[in-house]
Structure 1
Amino acid sequence: MLRPSPRRPEPTMTLRPLALALALALAACQPAAEAPVAEAAPTVQPAERAAQLNALYADFWEASLKLNPLQATFVGDARYNDQMPDFFSAEYRAKGEAFNREWLAKAQAIGSEGLSGQDLLSYEIFVRDLQFEIDGERFPGWQIPLNQFTNLTGTIAQLGSGTSAQPFKTVQDYDNWLKRAAGVPQLLATMQANMREGMAAGVVQPKVLMVKVIPQIDALVKDKPEDTLFWQPIANLPADFSDADKTRLTEAYRALIADQLMPAYRDLRTFVNDEYLPASRDTVSLSALPDGEAWYAFRAKQFTTTDLTPAQIHDIGLAEVARIHAEMDGVMQQTGFKGTRAEFFEFVTKDKQFEFGSEDELLTAYRALEAKINARVDELFSLKPKAPFEIRPVEPFRAQSAAGGSYMRPSEDGTRPGIFYVNTYDLPTRKRWDSESLFLHEAIPGHHFQIALQQELGDLPKFRRFGGETAFAEGWGLYAESLGKELGVYTDPYQYFGRLQAEMWRAIRLVVDTGLHSKGWTREQVIDYMKANSATSDTEAVAETERYIAIAGQALAYKIGELKIKELRARAEAELGDKFDIRGFHAEVLQDGSVPLAVLEAKVDRWIASRK
């Protein structure tokens, strides 16, 4: 889900279908929890047990795609492209909960006795993920499904515009969307019903977030179907369609947009503005909700795949902020700047030399980085993905609240590349010194390398190829930023400052996310802390703060994951000395896909021991 500004939206590996589909669109993933292991009878040989489990994983994957058609679409499986279940309904939620329990019981009935290597790893991750989903059912996230950062109306518009995972190449593709989109009005109606239940239970979104939702919906609602994003597939009808199909589809899409989608969007807009907004809360902390303290602690564990408490994470953040400030001071001296750190922050955020003159200039600069970094990437990596990727600007309708950059995974069949979305909204705030670190994080060797490569690991079960852990994925993205000098960039001290600024954002996240949700910090306190401790604009500080309010705990994953990967590299370098091979280290980290941090540490330790 890669975006110094936010890189990616909330990742998840839940089997709650809508959440998973949204996450897969931006290629991230989510953690797991401990589960009791019910071992099978010892007479079963390990090879037979492994075969049984691999068959179970394959069946599970097929069942999960059938249950969640959007998940299938986002991974490039077209079989269910015409389906849109009512994901928010009580019946569907119950089905999802039963699904989790059923497949967990099946896996535990086979057990893990005698398994080793990838077989054991797959079992442990599978059981952890499902148990975590079951443990999380106590928290009523379904009652607060809408905010400015995860707005379903925008996701649907992306799908229907032809710029996302939904294909529009054949007549069947066009008919599939007609059928799928027909389910949108009921989906939005059920979402409203759930939000009304939340209002009755005191589980509502902060008002400061919901005021941002209204203009997002307004940007999508048009009087004429031809003016909507949903019309784009008709505007781009393939020339080889027959005249009859062109006429039929044009009429059908006009009716769909005018009679179903726009009324549903207007109804949701009216509900949010007239009913929900007055009932939304003035507080911003997840802890302010019923059972909120436990909910936040759960999410901290969920996103970091550790047992760190919010208080411990807060202290780690404070220490990292101090460390990075010291390094920033050294870079400031290198540039010859005379003044305080605060004055330097103001200089780099306001001086015109650091601004792009146009969107085209910004996109050209990012695209030029690909060749420059590719020239050196083989020095650090023996494993590289086969899938290509593209750089695109974030669509205007979602740009104001979107991350500074984000990544969407390629389709499994190769028909859709990985996409690095660059946000060009409020262009003066998109700094030149931010470009190299952002590219390294989102594209090469960051998310595109890790996510696309994981997807291509054909020997892994699909739940691992297309799932994962937020702390690993985002930790890798931030670690990738640290490789800039080794890859021939950061030669300009201002670009290296940009790398430190990006790292500082992630350190600040540890402080302010925990501050917001476990220490009673206000929105204004967080904005002030960001501006005092980093080079940021008001636009970035507000968007970041409101992101943390919207998706509590997700922002903790980045720095915690990066610190673990850097710790493991330092350990390997110290213990192996001249035997240390950076290409081998990176291959060891990446070759099994995304894993919990404790699993990563154990396998790197084995790799170190094997090379002594």
Structure 2
Amino acid sequence: MTLVDEFIDWYLAENPVRAALLGADGYDRTLGDLSASAFTARERAAEEWLRKLSESTPESPEDEIDRDLVAAHLRGQIALARWPEWRREPAAYLGVIFGSMFTPFQQRLKPEAELVDAAVARLAEVPAVLAACQANLDPELAADLLVTRGLDQARTGRRFLTETLPALVGDPDLRARLARAAEPAADAFDGLVRFLEGFEPRGSWRMGEELYSALLREQEMLGYGAAELHEKGRQAWAELDTRMTEVAARLGSGSWRAAMESLMDDHPPTLEAMRAEYEAETLRAREFVRDRGLVTFPEGEVCRVEPSPEFQRPIIAVASYLAPPPLSSSRDGVFFVPYTPDGFTEEQVRQRLRTNSRPQMPSISVHEGYPGHHWHLSWMAGNPHRARKIFRTPYFVEGWGLYVEKLMHEQGYFDTPQTELAHLDCRIWRAARIVVDTALHCDDMTIEQAEEFLTTKASLSPGTAAGEVSRYCAWPTQAPSYLTGALEIERIRADYTGDLRTFHDTIAGSGGLPLGLARKVVLG
């Protein structure tokens, strides 16, 4: 057993929910230890694992890639210990609970009775996890915005556990058993809601340039920091602005913003109609990719298109994707269509539909489905290296999703001025994300200025922009990953001398590596 294998065994044992969601056996009866002592012990262990890996000598170039991938992950975790999520926001606890309860019933890797057994065991641990949340949150570190996000999620807890989750179970007796087991956990959620309503956070959500740049260099293995990334975003925005003005002129408009406002009026009439149209567009993209021979399809892959889970709706305003568990044989993924939370007004729902207009659907379906996230993560799951299945960076994964949008444009998929402009709008939005995220976290931009930037420099509605900015505040460095990664993948492709299909199969099949490691895999 290599040192990387030893680390992975330790990592799975320390993160049982993630292990189970990855498809590893034997981890589905517990939520893990989320006490303060456990968090600090894992932080110390990460430093020791990094020391051991840095002193090790891999036996082959492939082993070296695995070691460097794990080391990059550990460097990121060690850096983030200075910005401890578990002291700063409820998401560190709520994500564990919601993900562990909902995802197994989505993936259906085991018989229903076993899924219910596992859920009942985990439900018994929910009160302790939420008690740890209340004990560990530090008012000097926690920020009001992040606590409010957690509070909005926590308010969905009772209904999710006592109604939504049991409704996923077909057998009446098993459904009743799950509903009974959910009551104490739901009571604990009610207690967390009361606690958070009275909690008075005094910290900041701003990460700061020093840590932000450290993550770009040490975890993402990019050769630049926050200031350079910010400037790249501004340059990319200016270039796209010029291109979009040219396309808008073909539509008879002197302004691409005005043209996009008009295009967004062509949207599905209801949320369910939006889901149905996304499903049809996803199938069209799949056939286009197959006909062009752009990638090799993994055997047995299926991409389902479903409404976003109830607990995600307060915090995610755009489409998302649930990958097949890579440590299992499943190749079944889910494209989640961004439904609105309960309580949204008719106008708020209309604005959500406008930001998922028919001209925009081809780009979004390509990104989430084929040959974007679903194809990539289904194909990647066939990689024989466990490290490549477990550790991946959004700078590759989201970069790939945006790269293939441009690829499909090159191949003629966006075949009208309307869909071409919408494709470029998706890209300029990602350039705006770079500008906004770096400015927010390096103390240059307010939340209100960020929302205005997204509504005037991209085509987001005010409601979607507010949801996006809230997400950026909670998840620093993720928003720039899309365009940054796409540009890096394009550079690797420019240096590659083989055919397009082999390039795609090789780079995407290597995992979701930091881009420097992906370059090594493809180019040697």
**Under a length normalisation based on structure 2, what TM-score does the superposition of the two structures give?**
0.89
Offset, 1:83: 1.3
Q: CA deviation at 1:186?
A: 0.8
CA offset digits 1:230-271 (Å, max 9, x no partner) = 33255x227xxxxxxx3xx5665344222x212210111011
Equivalence for 1:537: 461
Q: Which residue of 2 aligns with 1:203?
A: 141
Amino acid at match of 1:85: G
SS of structure 2 residue aligned to 1:483: helix
Deviation of 1:359 after TM superposition, in Å, equals 2.9
Q: In the alignment, residue 397 of structure 2 is paired with which amino acid?
A: A
Q: How does 1:308-327 map to 2 (within 5 A)?
A: 308-327=224-243
Q: Does 1:256 align with 2:171?
A: no
Among candidates 200, 204, 207, match of residue 286 of structure 1: 207
Residue type at the aligned position of 2:303: F
Q: 2: CA distance between counterparts of 1:473 and 1:450?
A: 8
Asked if residue 433 in structure 1 is aligned to residue 359 in structure 2, the reply is: yes
Q: What are the superposed Cα offsets for residues 396-443 of structure 1, whole Å, 9 maximum, x if unpaired? A: 443242141111111343457111111132243321122111111111
- The counterpart of 1:231, out of the listed 166, 178, 181, is 166
2:312 aligns to what?
A: 398
Preserved contact between residue 436 and residue 495 of structure 1 (Cα < 8 Å): yes
Relative to structure 1, is the Cα distance of residues 416 and 187 closer, same or farther in structure 2, using a 3 angstrom cutoff?
farther
The residue that corresponds to 1:81 in the other structure is 28
Match of 1:80, SS?
A: coil
Q: 2:508 aligns with which of 590, 602, 610?
A: 590
SS in 2 for 1:496: helix
Can you list the C-alpha shifts for 1:73-104, whole angstroms capped at 9, x where unaligned?
101224121112232x1221233234434544
The amino acid across from 1:323 in the alignment is E
What displacement does 1:316 show? 0.6
1:132 CA displacement: 3.6
Encode CA deviations 1:498-548: one digit per residue, 9 max, x unaligned.
111111111011111111111421011111111221222111111111111
- Cα distance change on mapping 1:530 and 1:178 into 2, 3 Å: same
From 80, 87, 99, the counterpart of 1:143: 87
- Secondary structure class of the residue paired with 1:347: helix
Partner of 2:409: 485
Provide the residue aligned with 1:160 in structure 2. 101
* Residue from 413, 420, 432 that aligns with 1:508: 432
Answer yes or no: is the 8 Å Cα contact 1:303–1:557 preserved in 2.
no
Deviates more, 1:405-414 or 1:267-276: 405-414
Among 220, 225, 233, which residue is 2:157 paired with? 220
CA-to-partner distance for each residue in 1:51-93, whole Å, 9 max, x for gaps? x53xx33333333222221022101224121112232x12212
User: Deviation per CA, 1:571-612, whole angstroms, max 9, x where unpaired?
Assistant: 44xxx5xxx521232233223222221223344444xxxxxx
Instruction: Give the aligned partner of residue 375 of structure 1.
Output: 287
Contact 1:284 1:522 (C-alpha < 8 Å) held by counterparts: no
Alignment-derived partner of residue 122 in structure 2: 180
Q: 1:153, 1:316 → 2: CA distance? A: 35
Shift of residue 168, structure 1, vs aligned partner: 6.8
Q: Deviations over 1:81-131 (max 9, x none)?
A: 1112232x122123323443454454455423xx44312222222333334
| Contact 2:146/2:474, CA 8 A, preserved across alignment | yes
The answer for the alignment partner of 2:446 in structure 1 is 522
The residue that corresponds to 1:389 in the other structure is 303
2:510/2:518 contact within 8 Å kept: no
Give how far 1:184 is off. 0.9
- For 1:431 and 1:344, the matched residues in 2 are separated by 13
3-state DSSP of counterpart to 1:419:
strand
Q: Which residue of 2 aligns with 1:581?
A: 499
Give the letter aligned to residue 126 of structure 1: V
One-letter identity of the residue aligned with 2:185:
L
Distance 1:486 1:294, change over 3 A: closer
Q: Partner amino acid for 1:358? A: T
Tell me which residue corresponds to 1:96: 42
Mark the CA change 1:345 to 1:280 in structure 2 (over 3 Å): closer, same or farther: farther
CA separation of 1:567 and 1:345: change in aligned 2, threshold 3 A = same
The count of aligned residue pairs is 509
RMSD: 2.7
The answer (yes or no) to whether the contact 1:158–1:164 under 8 Å persists in 2 is: no
In structure 1, the partner of 2:66 is: 122
CA deviation string 1:319-357 (max 9, x = no partner): 0110001111111012223x43443343234x3xx1102
Quote the offset at 1:566 in angstroms. Answer: 1.4
Does 2:450 correspond to 1:553? no
Distance of aligned partners of 1:388 and 1:225 in 2 relative to their CA distance in 1, 3 Å threshold: closer
User: 1:443 corresponds to which residue?
Assistant: 369
CA contact (8 A) 2:105 2:115 kept: no
Specify whether residues 280 and 98 from structure 1 end up closer, same or farther in structure 2 by C-alpha distance, changes over 3 A only: closer
Are residues 1:346 and 2:261 paired?
A: yes
In structure 2, give the amino acid aligned to 1:272.
Answer: L
- 1:471–1:557: 8 Å Cα contact kept in structure 2? yes
2:57 to 99, 105, 111: 111
Which amino acid is 2:274 matched to? L
Equivalent in the alignment of 1:358 = 270
Alignment check: 8 A CA contact 2:105 2:168 kept: no
Q: 1:132 to 1:153 in 2, by over 3 A?
A: closer
Deviation string for 1:10-64 (max 9, x for gaps)? xxxxxxxxxxxxxxxxxxxxxxxxxxxxxxxxxxxxxxxxxx53xx333333332
The whole-number CA distance in structure 1 between the counterparts of 2:455 and 2:17 is: 39
Question: Given that residues 86 and 186 in structure 1 are in contact (C-alpha distance below 8 angstroms), is that contact kept between their aligned partners in structure 2?
Answer: no
Among 413, 418, 432, the residue aligned to 1:494: 418
Q: Does 1:329 align with 2:245?
A: yes
CA distance in 2, matches of 1:558, 1:394: 21
Q: Distance in 2 between matches of 1:168 and 1:596?
A: 33
1:266 counterpart (190, 206, 215): 190
Name the residue aligned to 2:345. none
Query: In 2 relative to 1, CA 414–121 (structure 1 residues): closer, same or farther, beyond 3 Å?
Result: closer
Q: Work out whether 1:421 is the aligned partner of 2:336.
A: yes
Q: Evaluate the alpha carbon distance shift between residue 179 and residue 237 of structure 1 in structure 2; reply closer, same or farther with a 3 A threshold.
A: same
Match of 1:482, SS?
helix
- CA distance in 2 between partners of 1:340 and 1:268 (Å): 48
TM-score (structure 1 length as normaliser): 0.77
**Mapped contact 2:510–2:521 kept (Cα < 8 A):** no
Call closer, same or farther: CA 1:302–1:184 in 2, change over 3 Å: farther
Partners of 2:399 and 2:113 lie apart in 1 by: 42
* CA 132–285 in structure 1, closer or farther in 2 if over 3 Å, else same: closer
**C-alpha spacing 1:121/1:318, structure 2 compared with 1 (3 Å):** same
Name the CA distance, whole Å, in 2 between partners of 1:529 and 1:108: 43
1:65–1:71 contact (8 Å) kept in structure 2: yes
Contact 1:76 / 1:165 at 8 angstroms: preserved in 2? no
Q: Which amino acid aligns with 1:451?
A: L
The one-letter amino acid paired with 1:326 is T
Aligned to 2:512, what secondary structure does the other structure show? coil
Q: Percent identity, aligned pairs only?
A: 25
8 Å contact kept, 1:297–1:310: yes
